[in-house]
Structure 1
Amino acid sequence: MEKPAGTAAKIFYYIWMVFKTNAIVVFGLIALFITIFGVIVPMFSGGERVKVPEGAALVFAPKGVITEQPQFVDPVTEALNEISNQQPPEESIYDLLDVLKEAKDDDRITTLAIYPGQISGVGPAMLEMLRDGIADFKESGKKVVAYGDFFSQSQYYIAAQADEVYMHPYGGVILEGYSRVRTYYASLLENLKVTPNVFKVGTYKSAIEPYLRDDMSDYAKDANRAFLGDIWELFKQDIAAARGIDAADIDRQINSYAEGMRQNNGDFAQLAISQKLVDKLVSRPEFREMMIERVGQNEKETSYKQINHRQYLKAIKPPIEFKNPNSDKVAVIVAKGAIMDGRQKEGTIGGDTLAYKIRRARLDDKVKAIVLRVDSPGGSAFASEVIRQELLKAKEKGLPLVVSMGTYAASGGYWISANADEIWARPSTLTGSIGIFGFIPTFERSLNWAGISRDGVGTTNLAGAMDVGRGLSPEVKEIIQANIENGYRRFLTLVSNGRNMTTEEVDAIAQGRIWSGIKAKELGLVDNLGSLNDAIKSAAKLANLEESKYDIWKVKRELTEKEQLLKDLFNATVAESPELIESFKSDTPVDALILDLKAEMEKVKVFNDPHHAYVHCNCEID
């Protein structure tokens, strides 16, 4: 506000400036007060921020999407999303595993009660991680029970790891197998007169098919059946081992589901009992009473003695993470999401953002090895190369580089992995997809149909070449296709160098084809099958670090001052009930379709490569 000229206006001006200055001071003092008394004082007072009841059951009820790295949402928006229920929440797989690990040896926790009914998304690799976490907890000898109203396929997988599985008498278990169903837009684009200019290399590079066809190509179907078959076999084996049934019976039961329903008078719950998927049918009150008999009542005498996993996490996790400046370290850097050019926040991989994290680790003299945790279907070829070059600089310094693959490490996700000293994958990891494509939609026909024309002049043949309202000239198309073909050769070469294979050998298993972790190991695309912890131990060994004599540094994006202030404010003031709220929301088929279409539209945002060249597998499964 400029200082006014008039006397009366000056008076109001000075009053406003005093009010404005005092408001800033007051709000600053409030933030400081909350930070001190909500975060710092509890940290040094020796007391827990959350009380864990003696002899309680840990209610393990993940909510929303379980992910390697939740996308960044500022606390205000997060609170509004929680109220409106518009955006599905996300939970870190590592927070969940930390909870299970700590509760295993916590004498205050006597039982693990799994409620998987609010999980809306989790990949096969993370299911395996949860399986291992629950199995480790069970080594304590503590009881593990699971309860649900209905179990989707992923929800049931988690529930099946319990010693006892209970379900509501009106519930059901739906196992259907894995599928890959995509939405195709060729006719829509034709109706809208949009020209999908596509440039690609790789017979199996089907990521761009939805913009060119109205159905899945035979090549894509063959490749999809192969990797889906691999991960479905793993799923069945795990369920069979957990429930003591024959894996072959699972396919038979699914394929004869209608017959099974007739034999059980149309009763989903009784069918689940007959298939030995569930131990007993009990109502919510009955399950609550059963748990009261096992662990006792809570203080309010409204339910059994319990603490939910989010509150337990607050009890065991320090409010501020400390980094020991004197210890040797293995740096763990997470690469989660689609790869985009520039700087990006969590949930998406920014080429510059991830490169900076790698550089921070490389320049820290206490870092002796780097583990890159990749959970990405790829994206921008240029951003992928920016990341890879920074990784090569770390290797030039002599730092061992180990890659650990999550649910996806395909296309661009493999591009940034290929030159590691070792690559570890989960058996169900989707990887490979070594191929490249370009995509530029143009709208000249749409504009002409609407009676709009674009015309003009330029100083060269390429002036205005990328005007999407005019279309691409044959010369421009030739230039882009040449760049895409060169990108594929580069991809083959960097994989060849990284994996000690000839380019011909790489090309034979490339062509954009997706492989499961099991098959990728057979083909030489990965070295070992195992967990992130296995990869960290291997990196430490390569760096000649003695076991238990190094720290793990999880390299994170540094928050801005504004982001940190909001985080401190909300973390200090927002509380959650320590008891389970017994409401289980499942997405309806319509919800699922809407979310799928929304996700498809979001994928278009990753197309920001400066050369319009993309290494993206688009390989999500259902």
Structure 2
Amino acid sequence: MSTSSHGPIYRLFRALWDALNFARRLVFNLIFVAIVVAILVSLSSGTRKIDARTALVFDPSGAVVEQYSVDPTGRALARLSGNEQAEVQLRDLLEAIDGAAADARIERMVFVPDQITSLGLATARELGAAFERFKAAGKEIVVVSTGMEQNVYLLAAHANRILLDPDGAVVLQGLSNYRSYYKDALDKLGVQAHLIRVGTYKSAGEPYVLDHASEAAKQADAYWMGGIWQEYIDEVAGLRKIDAAALSDDINHFDQRVTAQHGDLAQLALEQKLVDELATGAQARAQLRALGVADGDSFRQIDFADYLGSRQAQRLPRAGKAVAVVVAQGEIVPGERPPGMIGGKSTADLIRRAREDAGVSAIVLRVDSPGGDATASEQIRRELAQAREAGKPVVVSMGDVAASGGYWISMASDEIWAQPNTITGSIGIFGLFVTIPDTLARIGINTDGVGTTPLAGAFDIRRPLSPQLEAVLASVIGRGYAQFIGNVAKARNKTPEEVDAIAQGRVWTGAQAKERGLVDKLGGLDDAIAAAAALAKLDKDHPVRYIEQPLSPWQRLAITLGGSDATLQFARWSGLQLPPGLLGRHEMRELSAIAEVLRGKRFAAWAHCLCEPH
């Protein structure tokens, strides 16, 4: 039926409705255009101008990691919602420090460590080496803190001057490795845990079969922790120019020292020469104003994130053959995994990309992993071996931890570098199988029946562990251990017997591992990259490329907009910024997934409650 058959009133209201629809579309399109123009203007307006005698405020927030565990969309949403970034990449921190060291406009660094939530000792040592390079450029580092734990303090100790809040503290408490043991609890529940392991010191499965730590586990833990702790004491004492024995005695008698200072922890840190001065935030700013250039009631400064953004915006790609860095961070599991985790297939694929890339001459595998699935570890090791067979040198750089499976994937390399306080080794294998027939019997459930073979139904946890299955598991795990030490022997030019003597699941520090031939050299990521370049006979100014999963166009846009100060300012001005704290990590992951689903679609529907639970 045509509209001409309707009366004049209908046509009037229809015209008004069409006009309203047109106005609505026009308004929203104008708003959209305004947002796009504002963003484009901000992105084309250049980077922030840095004046001479500027202080770099080095104030990382969150956990220091090798690779983000949150995707770019999630990070952009976190920034726009006002949430603090939960993670910061080690490579970005190093770039900011080294860039500032060579930048004549940067006069000093002000290190504010209070928002660092997690920092490994080997990572602290890596950053400490960068601090030393900064000082070697003739620039000073001033620490301003309200309190530090020992890992952060190891980094702060590299500074020229440490200012601590009068109500703050520096707590150096030593290392420990305490676990919960579940055997008694499992016995009460009737749960039977069957541990099959090869390696006297492979203690990861002990909590399920013992009610206390074995003597072998205590002996091994005491040895590697003692080595790391002595390294720590010696390094802090050397940096602060105090006696190592006196420092160790102060820590061992901390209760007495605190009592003598009437509970004043800040005064105790000053007395022990762990800090140089007690100063409030206002007093610290006044000192920095006097040292540098006054800027209102503060001093001329640039935040490290802004400085890093400025450097990255001006960075030009370097020509020539590159050293490729592949990050292997987290537990090793089979299949595809997102960045920040090690997947047998996904990590092997990254290595394969580097191997097949004609622009890559050498590969550095950066390992920070306590281990995991043996099959996935072997998948990654084989891919590295193929890269070497293809004529590309492979160098491993160990981070905080490269143990068990983390050492497995490190074997197929021309060189292994580790920090002295890296945790490595743990060359051993175990399997844990749980059965619950007694648990079910206690509530009146019994399991019975028949099978066609002795192995049929053997994996049913309702039944006791059969001798046949136990023999199979023991044989498989024994073969895995023999394969492990055989590969180590081949890679390290040792006999299997020599490797077995230093394996058995025992953990070593990087320094101890070097003494036993499990590690080639002591040093950080930069040292490993330089070694890989030398093996490939590259020029000094060779480019370094991180090989990572490719970003979608949406993710690239999210990084650009989420990292733009202008975007944040526009969001605040327009009232579009989300309230701080509204989106937690769970909501960030969910909204990030939604954004990926909606990407490229004109219309879609999704229901979600951005509300707090009650």
TM-score above 0.5: yes
Report the counterpart of residue 346 of structure 2 in structure 1.
Answer: 353
**Alignment-mate amino acid for residue 416 of structure 1:** I
Asked if 1:164 corresponds to 2:171, the answer is no
Q: Distance in 2 between matches of 1:403 and 1:483?
A: 28
Residue in structure 2 matching 1:364, options 338, 347, 357: 357
Asked if 1:233 corresponds to 2:226, the answer is no
**Alignment-mate amino acid for residue 264 of structure 1:** Q
| Change in CA separation of 1:226 and 1:103 when aligned onto 2, cut-off 3 Å | same
Report the counterpart of residue 187 of structure 2 in structure 1.
Answer: 190
Provide the secondary structure at the position in 2 that maps to 1:379. coil
Q: Distance in 1 between matches of 2:72 and 2:438?
A: 41
Tell me whether 256-265 or 235-244 shows the greater mean CA deviation: 256-265
Report the counterpart of residue 11 of structure 1 in structure 2.
Answer: none
Q: Distance in 2 between matches of 1:357 and 1:456?
A: 49
Q: Distance in 1 between matches of 2:328 and 2:221?
A: 24
For residues 314-463 of structure 1, the aligned pairs below 5 Å read 314-318=309-313, 327-454=320-447, 458-463=451-456
Report the counterpart of residue 605 of structure 1 in structure 2.
Answer: none
Identity between Structure 1 and Structure 2 (%): 42
Q: Distance in 2 between matches of 1:414 and 1:260?
A: 41
Write the deviation string for residues 357-402 of structure 1: whole angstroms up to 9, x where unpaired.
0110111122221111111111000000100111111111121111
Q: Distance in 2 between matches of 1:279 and 1:273?
A: 6
Q: Distance in 2 between matches of 1:84 and 1:224?
A: 42
**Alignment-mate amino acid for residue 161 of structure 1:** H
Report the counterpart of residue 211 of structure 2 in structure 1.
Answer: 214
Q: Distance in 1 between matches of 2:224 and 2:305?
A: 35
TM-superposed CA distance for 1:444, in Å, is 3.7
TM-superposed CA distance for 1:483, in Å, is 0.3
Q: Distance in 1 between matches of 2:535 and 2:58?
A: 36
TM-superposed CA distance for 1:546, in Å, is 2.9
Q: Distance in 2 between matches of 1:37 and 1:101?
A: 33
TM-score, with length taken from structure 1: 0.81
Report the counterpart of residue 606 of structure 2 in structure 1.
Answer: none
Q: Distance in 2 between matches of 1:571 and 1:118?
A: 19
**Alignment-mate amino acid for residue 172 of structure 1:** A
**Structure 1, gaps ≥5 residues long:** 1-18, 578-622
| Change in CA separation of 1:74 and 1:534 when aligned onto 2, cut-off 3 Å | closer
Q: Distance in 1 between matches of 2:463 and 2:76?
A: 42
For residues 547-562 of structure 1, the aligned pairs below 5 Å read 547-548=540-541, 550-560=542-552
Provide the secondary structure at the position in 1 that maps to 2:168. strand
Count of aligned pairs: 545
**Alignment-mate amino acid for residue 311 of structure 1:** D
Residue in structure 2 matching 1:261, options 255, 258, 261: 258
Tell me whether 52-61 or 75-84 shows the greater mean CA deviation: 75-84
Q: Distance in 1 between matches of 2:326 and 2:121?
A: 21
Q: Distance in 2 between matches of 1:69 and 1:206?
A: 29
TM-superposed CA distance for 1:201, in Å, is 0.4
Q: Distance in 2 between matches of 1:34 and 1:405?
A: 45
1:60 touches 1:112 (CA, 8 Å); kept in 2?
yes
1:147 touches 1:159 (CA, 8 Å); kept in 2?
no
| Change in CA separation of 1:90 and 1:450 when aligned onto 2, cut-off 3 Å | farther
| Change in CA separation of 1:445 and 1:568 when aligned onto 2, cut-off 3 Å | farther
Q: Distance in 2 between matches of 1:576 and 1:199?
A: 59
TM-superposed CA distance for 1:458, in Å, is 4.9
| Change in CA separation of 1:295 and 1:456 when aligned onto 2, cut-off 3 Å | farther
Which one has the largest radius of gyration?
2
Write the deviation string for residues 577-618 of structure 1: whole angstroms up to 9, x where unpaired.
9xxxxxxxxxxxxxxxxxxxxxxxxxxxxxxxxxxxxxxxxx
1:344 touches 1:353 (CA, 8 Å); kept in 2?
yes
Residue in structure 2 matching 1:517, options 510, 514, 521: 510
Asked if 1:95 corresponds to 2:87, the answer is no
Q: Distance in 2 between matches of 1:162 and 1:576?
A: 34
Write the deviation string for residues 472-524 of structure 1: whole angstroms up to 9, x where unpaired.
43222221111000000000110111111000000000000011111111111
**Structure 2, gaps ≥5 residues long:** 1-20, 571-614
Q: Distance in 2 between matches of 1:205 and 1:342?
A: 26
TM-superposed CA distance for 1:451, in Å, is 4.0
Write the deviation string for residues 260-283 of structure 1: whole angstroms up to 9, x where unpaired.
223323321221111111111111
Report the counterpart of residue 578 of structure 2 in structure 1.
Answer: none
Residue in structure 2 matching 1:543, options 536, 541, 545: 536
Write the deviation string for residues 15-40 of structure 1: whole angstroms up to 9, x where unpaired.
xxxx9xx99xx99x96x99789747x
Provide the secondary structure at the position in 2 that maps to 1:235. helix
Q: Distance in 1 between matches of 2:567 and 2:225?
A: 42
Provide the secondary structure at the position in 2 that maps to 1:360. helix
Q: Distance in 2 between matches of 1:188 and 1:83?
A: 44
Write the deviation string for residues 544-566 of structure 1: whole angstroms up to 9, x where unpaired.
22322x32121112235564454
Q: Distance in 2 between matches of 1:62 and 1:373?
A: 21
**Alignment-mate amino acid for residue 406 of structure 1:** G
TM-align CA RMSD: 3.0
| Change in CA separation of 1:108 and 1:221 when aligned onto 2, cut-off 3 Å | same
Residue in structure 1 matching 2:519, options 506, 523, 526: 526
Report the counterpart of residue 570 of structure 1 in structure 2.
Answer: 562
2:334 touches 2:375 (CA, 8 Å); kept in 1?
yes
Asked if 1:296 corresponds to 2:289, the answer is no
Q: Distance in 2 between matches of 1:208 and 1:88?
A: 35
Tell me whether 275-284 or 71-80 shows the greater mean CA deviation: 71-80
TM-score, with length taken from structure 2: 0.82
Report the counterpart of residue 579 of structure 2 in structure 1.
Answer: none
Residue in structure 1 matching 2:64, options 48, 51, 66: 66
| Change in CA separation of 1:445 and 1:575 when aligned onto 2, cut-off 3 Å | farther
Provide the secondary structure at the position in 2 that maps to 1:544. coil
